[in-house]
Amino acid sequence: LVPSASCAVPSRKTMPAISKKVSAASTRRDTALALGMAVPMTMTFAMPRQVSAPRAAQVQAVSEAPSSQPQVSGHRAVGAAALGGLLAAGSLTRQNQRRGPLPTRTVACSATATLDREEQEEVGLADPAEKLEEYIKAKGGNKVLRKILIANNGMAATKAILSMRQWAYLELGLDNAFEFVAMATRDDLEANAEFLRLADTFVEVPSGKNVNNYANVDLICEIAKAQGVDAVWPGWGHASENPKLPQKLSEMGVTFIGPTSPVMSVLGDKIAANILAQTAGVPCIPWSGDGLDASLQEDGTIPEEVFKKGCVFSVEEAKASAEKIGFPIMIKASEGGGGKGIRMIDKMEELENAFIQVQNEVVGSPIFMMQLCSGARHIEVQIVGDEHGCAVALNGRDCSTQRRFQKIFEEGPPSIVPRATFREMEKAAQRLTQNLGYKGAGTVEYLYNVNEDKFYFLELNPRLQVEHPVTEEVTRVNMPATQMLVCSGIPLQNLPQIRTFYGKSSDDLTSPINFLEDDYVYPDRHVIAARITAENPDDAFKPTSGKIQRIKFQSSVSCWGYFSVGANGGIHEYADSQFGHIFAHGANREDARKALMLALRNMDIVGEIRNPVEYLVELLKTDAFIQNTIDTSWLDGILAARSVGVKYNQFDIIFNAAIFKAVQTLKSSEDEVLSALEKSQLGPLKDLSKMNSFPIEIAFEGVKYNFEVTRLGPDLLQMSIGGQKFISQVLTQPDGTFFVSTGNKVNKVFGTEEALGLRLRLEGIGTVMLPTLYDPSELRSEFNGKVVRYLQDDGAAVKEGEPYVELEAMKMIMPVKASGSGKISHTAGAGSIVAAGDLLGSLELDDPSKVKKIVAFEGSFQPTDLEDDKGSAGSLQSQVSMLLDGYLPVEGSASLAQKLFAETPAAERDQVTIDILDRFLAVEEKFSSLNAENLTDDQIFTTLINENKESLVTVANLCRAHSQLAARTETVLATLRSVRSLTPSAGLAERIRKLADLTGQSYGSVALVAKNLTAKMSATPFDERLSSLRSKLDSSAVDFQAVSALPASQAGAELLTSLLKDSSEEVRSNALEALMRRLYRSFVIEDLKVESSGDEMSSSLKFKFPGTTSVREAIVRVVPSADKIKDVVKGALAFQDVSSGNNTVKVIVTSSAEQGEDFYAQDADFQSMIADAEVAMKAADENLKSSGVREVGIMMTQA
């Protein structure tokens, strides 16, 4: 991550000589860092709870590849400030860390960078303090600011340390030129704040509101004194605009990196700044101080009475001022900032609440009012002043994309403003600050009317702003370093980066710059930045707080970013909502926009917080942004109209939400089972089958969707709704996300169950909230925060959609609206800390009948791209395997086995059978052996637990499989039937014998079939028996009486039907006669004839029961496939006696598995064939009756 500006540095020959002898390794490492290459680095941090308890961590130094920059004045330009881990590592171990008598804790963060001490001695690095002092003096400075207290946290602290370390390395070749002391609350420590890793030392300070820590002037000064720092860097927010801080530090002899107290007081105050601006003739929009002017007094302030005339002190004064100014109006706290202490109102009825909210957000701050300039752009000029009376304008920024007056995107240069007009803005800002002796960085803000090409002074911020890297990108000036250097007394015109910006030699200090008259080299690129915040874009960007598991962001040549938190960090309730900033550049605005979109699309933030990344992408795609026709009200209008947002097919959301809840249900159940097993509790083991099928209910947008979940495998789910079935494979990832594969479609899903509902994030779609269904009479908090005040008395009436309470969260005061109309009862008091979902009040509803009802879903469920492909349960072999592991099949278990063997080549059936029997025996041999000991189920479970204490998952798997014994038994029986004609291998024969040895009533059917097969296996192989029988039938004089008397193993129906397909017509005919004599051997056969014509054969016979005289007739037809049955029953049946009604028709179907699709090997197909045969017989009913047929029999090979 590369968070600093491009900086031009002296070429090697102009830099101070470091050493005559430089090792090859050191040279390579130096070059790598300068070019922005990755440099491996190991850093050991000592961060003890107590000073004696170190902990270690390793990091990888990463920097950005250089961007293409032009050569300026013979010096090489370095792209977006290549920051390696070396620069971020911290300085070498410090000695004699100071610690004052504070109610805080000081911790030294000792880091060893790539250049260790031995290497530093080898390259002859000078003492850091001496080298910094030499540089400051050479540039005309008068003080060295080496040990710096960072009086801030989050983004500000992170950026300051990174930037100043970067400057020191690129300019001085040192990574340890500065020593940074940070302040850290317990909240920041627990949130794994990035700036604490970067600092050399941190001092633990009280938690809570910033008045306890970062905004506490006395505490900051106390730490500065105790730590013996040279300077304090205030950043933005907190105490950065409190004039008491520079005043008190000045009295202590500590440098404040910013303007002096009087100047900060007069310019930093928005009221005084407006008065001074209109006094200087800078155009101002109508406000509460219209017409006031004032000159600075000797103490650097304006007269108190003039100042107060620009303020409003009460609701009544605010109303009077509003009448004079006209609506719409902004109410602003002069000490506010960052969207805090500012409200926009359109009518008088909104004024009182808005005024009170501003008072509460910035307590004690003077308040003023100004007309809201509709359709305006927010344009900023970045200024820096030195103590020698000069002020430079470092171009500017367009910050018009705002919500609640908080910036979302910032860009520069402000291309919407003509260059001549913008130059006037810059000069006005320079004159205003230069005349006041402003020192340090500041921002003059204007409202710009595009249509009229006019600008109006808005305010001056006497501090650095969070969006300053935009200026760094377009000017290649490192802003935090520039702040430090001008406060070291160096004239602006002597700073190398400033000189390069003006197209002058960075080393030639004899060529002065007139900042008001000379023009700088206009930027050759456009930059657009996006703030990454912990805010909910679906709820008007309300702030959120919580843990952050992971941030994935890939920097590139055209985009970089930095973050204030790392992996396993978080955003606490007292932190600023912004935790990241992304900057993209291009040759023009459109190129920068595309680069930013690409970076945001590839960003992934996982955690409890909400973030607007997907929403930002949608904003960047809008025509208004692309055409650059936006204004400061544009985004608020979009939010109000909800015209931009994540677009999706609601069925996709519901389907993946159901998958997520199903996965969570299974995980919860599995955790419960394992927890119970650890305690030897047996109850859950008896209910494992319930995990295979369960309901899931999803409510979304007033509709309830009821799914039935069937578990087909460990990661395979069948989701059924409204008669439709979808099969999805769910692959869980270590980071908590999972891939859902349905048909040819794969979705990456991440979900979080929160108090207010399920937050679902789908890659390629975005984040969607599926709210928990609460009783409408319950009023609940929508976010974490603190109750400020209720807006209605307890028991008073409130209307639906009307604010009823104000909560403070992330330094903002936000109203929460009622979900219904009725009488409110308060359930929390002012100052109460509440979490999202907590009850804030209850309603006695005016009309309960008007509460919106949730209706059940009806109709066709149609997720995207799943209309025709609803997923697959996998191969037949995997389906059978999962069935044997205790999961549910998509169809009958016997049918699955039959289908499997129908499609399995004969050569592979032996091994497939072995695999199936192994899976069955792996479970049932254990239970059979324990059954043989007459153990109860509980005793069996206990024995299994004791045998698998190190792998309780094995116990759960065994018990789940055994719970599906009935289906597993059907599968094994179907398997044995399918291979009964095989000559088994020794391995298969061994498995079948093991099946025969299973004991217990549950295994009776399997054991019986296995014993029969075992006996059969001990006989002559099937092929040999078939050959022997064929030799007996391959004769014109067959002894059919002898053949029919043979045992079934030598001349049974299985062998005889196989010969009905023999190539010899004589063998086929004899086989049919032998089959008939065998089938009717219990009867007296008086006449039997066999006729053969090609592939078709028929037989007719007369028979009677022994001891009777009544003769019956039978006609047998042999057909190649089942579809010929209808031809038989519809055709002529030549019975001699049709009056008896006792005639029989038999149809023998000779098709087999080898003959393909006509072979009905599956139960479903077999039943379908039977149904077709019944239809055919009904259609031939008259023919059959007229032929005296009593029964029709069908004979076919069994699968």
Helical spans, DSSP H, in 116-243: 117-123, 128-138, 154-172, 186-190, 194-198, 217-227
> Catalytic residue numbers?
463
DSSP-derived pairing of the beta strands 757-762 and 559-563: unpaired
pLDDT for res 735: 77
Q: What is the pLDDT of residues 452-488, one digit of tens each?
A: 999 999 888 899 999 999 999 999 999 999 999 999 9
Determine the Cα–Cα distance for residues 1099 and 1090; give it in Å rounded to an integer.
4
Residue type, 502: Y
HSE, CB side, 13 Å, CA atoms: give it for residue 518. Answer: 18
For the record, the structure tokens of 392 come out as 């430079």
Determine the Cα–Cα distance for residues 367 and 318; give it in Å rounded to an integer.
9
Determine the Cα–Cα distance for residues 205 and 215; give it in Å rounded to an integer.
11
pLDDT for res 690: 83
For the record, the structure tokens of 565 come out as 């938190």
Helical spans, DSSP H, in 819-908: 876-884, 893-903
For the record, the structure tokens of 34 come out as 């300068």
DSSP-derived pairing of the beta strands 716-721 and 578-586: unpaired
Q: What is the pLDDT of residues 408-418, one digit of tens each?
A: 999 999 999 99
What one-character DSSP code corresponds to residue 644? S
Determine the Cα–Cα distance for residues 868 and 22; give it in Å rounded to an integer.
68
For the record, the structure tokens of 699 come out as 């409510």
pLDDT for res 108: 54
DSSP-derived pairing of the beta strands 147-150 and 179-185: parallel
In the numeric block, the tokens 């955790």 are attached to 671
Determine the Cα–Cα distance for residues 972 and 977; give it in Å rounded to an integer.
9
Contact (Cβ atoms closer than 8 angstroms) between residue 639 and residue 697: no
pLDDT for res 1163: 61
Strands (E), 266-390: 329-337, 340-345, 367-371, 377-385
The model's pTM: 0.66
Closest C-alpha to 974, from 719, 805, 1166: 1166
Buried b (16+ CB within 10 A) or exposed e, 1134-1149: ebeeeeeeebbbbbbb
pLDDT for res 1162: 57
- In three-state secondary structure terms, 575 is coil
CA 1015 to chain centroid, in Å, comes to 60
pLDDT for res 65: 35
Determine the Cα–Cα distance for residues 182 and 1091; give it in Å rounded to an integer.
106
Closest C-alpha to 662, from 726, 735, 597: 726
Could you state, in chain order, the average pLDDT of each consecutive group of 10 residues for the chain (1199 residues)? 34 32 34 32 30 31 34 32 32 33 49 42 66 94 96 94 95 93 93 91 92 94 96 94 94 95 80 84 86 80 89 93 91 79 90 92 90 88 95 96 86 96 94 86 93 90 93 96 96 96 90 93 96 83 82 90 84 83 96 95 86 90 94 86 80 93 92 87 80 92 92 94 92 87 88 83 82 80 84 90 84 81 89 84 83 82 82 90 94 90 90 95 93 87 89 91 93 89 86 92 91 79 87 90 86 88 90 91 90 83 90 91 88 89 90 49 69 88 91 79
CA 743 to chain centroid, in Å, comes to 22
CA-based torsion, 115, 116, 117, 123: positive or negative: negative
